[in-house]
Amino acid sequence: MLELVIASGKGGVGKSTVSSSILHYMHGEGREVFAVDADVEAPNLHLIFGIKEWKVEKPYSEGWVAKIDRARCDECGICRAECPFRAISVKDGRHVINEVICEGCLTCSLVCPRRAIYRVRVDEGVVRAGNTGYGFGIAGAKLRVGRPNSGKLVTEVKNLAKEIGGSKPTYIVDAPAGIGCSVVSALAGSNGVVLVVEPTPASLADVKRLHRLAKHFMLPSALVINKADINPEFADEILRWAKEENIYYLGSVPYDDVVPKSMVAMKPLLEYAPNSKAAIALREISKKFMEVLVDGWREWFRTYKPKKPEPYIPLIIKPSQNIK
């Protein structure tokens, strides 16, 4: 079983386009694959494959929120004064708890003289799985509006995928953007990561942070430059950085306005516009991905020699002399 993550330091650089193209290509070559959409806040991999119904949907509960027992509450206001998250307010003379802000810490319950506050589990969303209609499965999640994201939810998605797919498929994980706990969960337990970047200073700065995280997990890294022709000089700078960091270069994808059209049509780009310049580039990238990263994973990992990360220096802010 092989698990490879498609990630980037920021959103909107084309992770899902690359992921869907690799999945579509490998399945077309007779390989067993399974799609994992780890972006639970803004899932869109299922949209590319035209999924409208899910075969498996499991409710997911993780967080806690406080509740007020109206029969005991005398509206004294101590809870509101002591709440560290300012989650309690007064409406129409009654104290109410904002469930979006509440962290379920139960400080309010501890200070309540009437013991009128308790906490309950809150539904975070659903973990779900189904078939893409292209011959392989997909797993993902839908986070409830207003609920915080968590790495635990991403882990539940990956566990459901492996429960259904078993040990045979290659799992392609479409990771969330950034380097938060959900990205950490997407990378944890995987065998390698593909860094998707676009030729802009912001994208490069973010992907460098992500690569530092990948090095922490000792994951071999590969690189795809999307929309490479919009800033060729900066794309060359990204390639120089990748060479210094021993990151395997998979290829570049030119800008192509047919990509968003394929998403609107809810079809993978390689099916929607197989002769487009972006599809041709992604097909070559997918072929190299299969041959070098999947079939040659052991060799890829053996030759991976990450550059030693820079020492972490905490930012120390000295208080102003004017602040007493």
The per-residue DSSP string of 60-123 comes to: EEEEEEEEE-TTT-----HHHHH-TT--EEEETTEEEE-TTT-----HHHHH-TT--EEEEEEE
| Mean pLDDT on 1-23 | 93
Q: Identify the pLDDT of residue 319.
A: 52
User: Is the pLDDT assigned to residue 194 strictly greater than 70?
Assistant: yes
User: Is the pLDDT assigned to residue 55 strictly greater than 80?
Assistant: yes
CATH 3.30.70.20 range(s) for the chain read 61-123
Confidence band, pLDDT 50/70/90 cuts, at residue 316: low
Quick one: CATH architecture of 61-123? 2-Layer Sandwich (3.30)
Single pTM value for the model: 0.84
Would you state the structure tokens that stand for residue 268, as one six-digit string?
């993978």
User: Is the pLDDT assigned to residue 40 strictly greater than 90?
Assistant: no
Confidence band, pLDDT 50/70/90 cuts, at residue 123: confident
Q: Identify the pLDDT of residue 324.
A: 43
Asked whether 186 and 213 are in contact (CB, 8 A), the reply is: no
| Mean pLDDT on 76-88 | 94
Spatial distance between the Cα atoms of 110 and 78, rounded to a whole number of angstroms: 10
Model confidence over 90-119: pLDDT tens digits? 999 999 999 888 888 999 999 999 999 999
Q: Identify the pLDDT of residue 286.
A: 97
Q: Identify the pLDDT of residue 323.
A: 44
Query: For 162, what's the count of Cα atoms within 13 Å in the CB-facing half-sphere?
Result: 13
Strand 192-197 to strand 221-226: parallel, antiparallel, or no bridges (unpaired)?
A: parallel
User: Is the pLDDT assigned to residue 321 strictly greater than 70?
Assistant: no
pLDDT exceeding 70 applies to what percent of the chain?
93
> Which residues, 6 or more positions from 261, have their beta carbon under 8 angstroms from its beta carbon?
272, 273
CATH 3.40.50.300 range(s) for the chain read 2-51+132-302
Q: Which fold has domain 2-51+132-302?
A: Rossmann fold (3.40.50)
